[in-house]
Amino acid sequence: MFQKCDFLLGEGDSIVVVIPARLPHAETYTLSVSDRDIRFRAGYDDIAEMPIQGAEIFRRLMNYTQVGVVEYPPNAESFPKTITNVAYIELRRAA
């Protein structure tokens, strides 16, 4: 669905994920995180996987159980003013 994502980093270790797509409809979204990669799931379906962008991103994500997601597809007229979805965070050990 997409091969990369970006992050907005704020004060107090806050973090928001920005994806270059619209998420498929699902009851829940999950960000499965290890110190090597990030996987996105919509319900039980894997929709994206990519390498993690450094220790700072991993450290911030592991401090939360949920994270805000901003959907910002390439054809969007402007950057959204609000968080568009919330994803649960699942921590994994790298194999």
Mean pLDDT, rounded, of the chain: 95
Nearest by Cα to 17 from 27, 44, 45, 47: 47
pLDDT digits (tens, 9 = 90+) for 18-35: 999 999 999 999 999 999
Stated as kind and residue range, the H or E segment containing 56 is: helix 55-61
Nearest by Cα to 8 from 87, 85, 83, 94: 83
- Residues 6 or more apart in contact with residue 76 via CB below 8 angstroms: none
Residue 94, pLDDT above cutoff 70 = no
Residue 43, pLDDT above cutoff 80 = yes
Residue 20 CB coordination number (10 Å): 16
